[in-house]
Structure 1
């Protein structure tokens, strides 16, 4: 039986409890210790309009935990749509078909909705507190508004932050018996070589110099990753 749950903007008193829950959850799965919350952060979260409901809040907390270099959740870890009060949908455009979750971005929760008892991607204990359904991309109540692009956040992160996220996600997706080096490092190296080759017009000598490796090593890696 579907259960009608008010949108998060209509129950802002739930935000501190939800933030605390998601902090504990993502600290645990990422082996992090972000346990303190800057008062300005909570103020910003409670003043934000939350078009993506609890799923949006969940992703922003996950993003902050992964990006934090300290044990405190600070304003600089929040996306500008929260700290400025501007809707995320107005800041980024375009769609990203099939996006599910991801750092700093809702996986697709409408502004209003009906919640069931089992929402993929949300920890079970939190699903009962969340509002909105799942659709794959974030949209506002305006059916003509463009979907939010998860790729937009990548352009605003430095390499260190992106690397931390990639490693964290790779470890999370790997099975216990998987070679995590292959799951993470090899994937990054393959993509790096592919993009450098493209930049160099496929000229291996030039690409090898750009990559800081000799041509024979590059040739072997091209064969290894089936790039040639």
Structure 2
């Protein structure tokens, strides 16, 4: 009875797949075909009865293998198969943070689809696409886990989100994660830093303009970011830097869900979710009459506060390794490991610049490394910064312990060779001897 029901369900699913206008083919983590519909077999020229067989038996250099290896989406790829022009989307299937398979959907390109594809390509090339999912944000501390869980809940709604956090904590990563976890994930993700543009330029970027609206206006006019974000998410970073006149214009768009280009008369309907971020105290700005209270309550429907790095120091080893991998991939350099003493030094520092500052330090270490292992010898520039900040008695004591730990670690690495240890620590041999006496390590 159960077997018959399962067969019925499978037949029902197959009927739904066959009714789709798109070609659909899926594989498991071993590249074994788990499902395929009739349109896929027709477009790709595949025979009947291939479920359960390796996809490479029919497509030797299948792009699905790349998706299984990288776990990255590929949207809008164009290919010619059996004299047919098709557009292909390939996506990993991820369960519990593990890649368990991949699925590819594709269709023949009509004239309208070609136009849509060009628009999407332009958006992607302009950076109007999110890349980071919430599960890709590095860290297992309770502080970051709680924020990721809350962000995942926010992603399921369509409400406006206000992300609070110090500079460098990764607010845009969370904005991208919320977008990709939402029902708008297939739409554009448009980000603008409100602090990076002067008022008049920010106005034209957000709302667009008509031809002849001002001297130098582009022929034919230009759509604003609200229009480009239609059907997706608009991320307003550093919204606290937005001038009061533009705040008023933004509030009007949020209330009416329509935008009017500069110099234009027509109201253009827009369907956009707003995610805003700031490192400023907006409530204090309201008291100082620098931020509109009505706009604040409009954008502060859901609030997400990102913890500073000093509140989650246990995440530093994982963050350091992740940053190191990114840098190595970019500069084609191989580092095989990191001395744990490096992590302990990093955990003595307060990181006022947060993850952005950590990234800067790790990138410099990788770029300047002359061996395949990062250790205390690669920290000379950072140790100077750390010591300069040791102005209080407590900080001096913390620095002394850090220095003691580093010297011991370096001497162990050099098998007691003090000349080599001094070289790695970025000091001369006499200075090292003096420190050994002071720290009672001789």
TM-score (norm. length: structure 2): 0.19
Considering fraction of residues, name the structure with more strand: 2
Give the structure, 1 or 2, with the largest relative contact order (CA under 8 Å, sep 6 or more).
1
Bigger Rg, which one: 2
